[in-house]
Chain A
Amino acid sequence: DQQVKQNSPSLSVQEGRISILNCDYTNSMFDYFLWYKKYPAEGPTFLISISSIKDKNEDGRFTVFLNKSAKHLSLHIVPSQPGDSAVYFCAASVAGAGSYQLTFGKGTKLSVIP
């Protein structure tokens, strides 16, 4: 039973355009969400997060949107740059549940075309 789903395995975007990566979750207990970026042969790098009390969090070119009623979040990258090409993982946790372990999606490979 996959609790965090990234239904698009890959996405290609032209440089300068917007990249939108989507993530759905099924566990209504999740209340903290994160996006990680991963380059080949490296560990995931934290990108941006959002608490369930918010519906938007912005950091530079990266914005995360959370729609709790739809159990959906998305990551917007504007403008997209070739260096953004990587695998993006959506992750969720239950704050206050003890270990705060992260439940990850399978990832979306973003390719930004120059």
Chain B
Amino acid sequence: GAGVSQSPSNKVTEKGKDVELRCDPISGHTALYWYRQRLGQGLEFLIYFQGNSAPDKSGLPSDRFSAERTGESVSTLTIQRTQQEDSAVYLCASSPSWKTQYFGPGTRLLVL
């Protein structure tokens, strides 16, 4: 079956511009997560959606970061006024339960 898909696969932007990243989870998965991986680091949790519950935003690094999800479908992660330290691979994962998360291929963001 189809896995988690993300778009774009790569994004180069200039400092100060806004970017929007998209995630299509596996159909039927109620939970959706965003993580980022900066160079040489492990994955950092950003935000979690579960059904219609209020999202867990505890991992968002600043108010320039926001995310939305419509029901149990697509999610978008928006970074406003991008900074060079935002350069990273942004990974989306979905899960049918609390146990295992299935990751997409990621969006590689480079802020010049």
Binding site for B on A (CB under 8 A): 4, 6, 32, 34, 36, 41-46, 49, 89, 91, 93, 95, 98-107
Contacts and interface: CB of A to CB of B under 8 A. Distances in A.
B33 A101 contact: yes
A5 B52 CA distance: 34
Contacts of B95: 100
A23 B10 CA distance: 31
Contacts of B105: 41-43
A98 B56 contact: yes
B50 interface: yes
Interface string B68-109: 000000000000000000000001010100111111111000
B40, B43, B101: residue with the most chain A Cβ atoms closer than 10 Å: B43
Interface size class of B (residues with CB under 8 A): 20 to 34
Given A42-B105, A43-B105, A99-B56, A106 B33 contact: no
A34 B31 CA distance: 17
B59 interface: yes
Contacts of A100: 31, 48, 95, 98-99
Nearest to B10: A41
A28 B45 CA distance: 19
Contact of B100 (A4, A34, A98, A99): A34
Contacts of A4: 42
Contacts of A104: 35, 42-44
Interface string B33-56: 101000011111100101000001
A93 B100 CA distance: 10
B98 to A, nearest CB: 4
Given A95-B98, A99-B56, A100-B98, A43 B45 contact: no
Contact of A99 (B43, B44, B50, B99): B50
B4 interface: yes
Given A99-B56, A101-B56, A107-B42, A43 B104 contact: yes
